[in-house]
Amino acid sequence: SLKAGIVGLPNVGKSTLFNAVVENGKAQAANYPFCTIEPNVGIVGVPDPRLHVLSDLSKSQRAVPASIEFVDIAGLVKGASQGEGLGNKFLSHIREVDSILQVVRCFEDNDVVHVNGKVDPKSDIDVINLELVFSDMDQIEKRMERLKKGKAKESQSKVKEEAEKSALDRIQQALLDGKPARSVPLTDLEKDAVRHLCLLTMKPIIYVANVAESDVSAAEDNPHVKEVMNLASGLQSGIVTVSAQVESEVTELRPEERTEYLKSLGVNESGLGNLIRATYDLLGLRTYFTTGEKETKAWTILTGMTAPQAAGVIHSDFEKGFIRAETVAYDDFVAARSFAAAREKGLVSRSLTFSLPIFAYKWGS
């Protein structure tokens, strides 16, 4: 499944948040598949009310949501990109994830030491950004050197090599200006040509503003959060506010006590669902559903995939032997209440490409 790496300076609440995600996953295990692969890796289901609506309509025996793998990547500190040992190891872990969640401390607590002596989201974000930028610069310099010497892999075509050079030139310039690689507009060919470098600043990033218990009901009023919002928009990134402390306390309560506790803090629901959804959306992921008596299942596709490619997510044979996809938009399906009824009303389309993001469907044979 797709991986999201949790990073941040020490003592900002990373492990508290990760543990809350994991505990919540365990508690939801009856509804959502969940497992911890390693101590710092957990797979959680993506909450989606549509799944249960479809499952009820079809009287499915089970409902299977889409999932995301969360990885707690501790140890990213100032100077990591210069370090030979541990620093590089953390950066290589980040290289493997599809998106980055940076926890930014927005809570004041004199009992919890801050690495810089005070809560300062801008500085926290700058420090981590700089490490990612340095690491990418290093990577690009080495690659350019190889390209110059003609030592790049022969398997690459001349056209692709030119595309790579042109893209790297522009990315390097952006990095020198302190801007992330993802801020550089690239053609599809250029994107493809630089993909093998797994540049860290190319990955989508979400800032997770970790606020105090007392701030969860009106997090946007917190000046630190405001600052993170401003910075995020300048860095082509998303922001989610959450209180790691609250989330970790919620997981310790019995389900019937949770709503009461959240209400006492002035909120209606736990922030974890929000965080998981935002991560999913940020990755440019889309869901389509299959639904029937046996199961209703959410399948994850990337924006822009064709129907055969989307079918291939279920089984590669479906892509190879693709004939057609019969699809119906979610709202139409729910209004019609069954596939047959939707077909009678002319709401089912047969297509070779997906033009709408969300479907309940049946594969033609």
* Residue partners of 355: CB distance under 8 A and separation at least 6: none
The answer on whether 238 is annotated among ligand-binding residues is no
- The footprint of ligand GDP (CB under 6 A) covers 8, 10-16, 74, 107, 109, 112, 210, 212, 243-245
Residue 128 C-beta: closest distance to ligand GDP, Å:
12
Residue 215 C-beta: closest distance to ligand GDP, Å:
9
Identity of the residue, 73 or 298, whose beta carbon is nearer to ligand GDP in the bound complex? 73
The answer on whether 15 is annotated among ligand-binding residues is yes
CA torsion sign, 133 to 134 to 135 to 139?
positive
The answer on whether 60 is annotated among ligand-binding residues is no
d(CA 247, CA 208) in angstroms, rounded, equals 13
Identity of the residue, 220 or 344, whose beta carbon is nearer to ligand GDP in the bound complex? 220
Residue 34 C-beta: closest distance to ligand GDP, Å:
21
The answer on whether 237 is annotated among ligand-binding residues is no
Identity of the residue, 58 or 210, whose beta carbon is nearer to ligand GDP in the bound complex? 210
Tokens 């399948």 found at: 299
For residue 18, count CB atoms less than 10 angstroms from its CB and return exposed for 0-12, middle for 13-18, buried for 19 or more.
buried
Residue 12 C-beta: closest distance to ligand GDP, Å:
4
Identity of the residue, 183 or 214, whose beta carbon is nearer to ligand GDP in the bound complex? 214
Q: Which two tokens stand for residue 49?
A: 């009310």
Residue 14 C-beta: closest distance to ligand GDP, Å:
3
Identity of the residue, 65 or 271, whose beta carbon is nearer to ligand GDP in the bound complex? 271
Q: Which two tokens stand for residue 175?
A: 């990095």
Residue 153 C-beta: closest distance to ligand GDP, Å:
39
Considering only CA atoms, which of 344, 353, 342 is closest in space to residue 288?
A: 353
Identity of the residue, 13 or 204, whose beta carbon is nearer to ligand GDP in the bound complex? 13
d(CA 169, CA 365) in angstroms, rounded, equals 49
Identity of the residue, 8 or 87, whose beta carbon is nearer to ligand GDP in the bound complex? 8
The answer on whether 13 is annotated among ligand-binding residues is yes
Residue 56 C-beta: closest distance to ligand GDP, Å:
36
Which residues are annotated as part of the binding site for ATP? 11-16, 211
Which residues define the annotated binding site?
11-16, 211
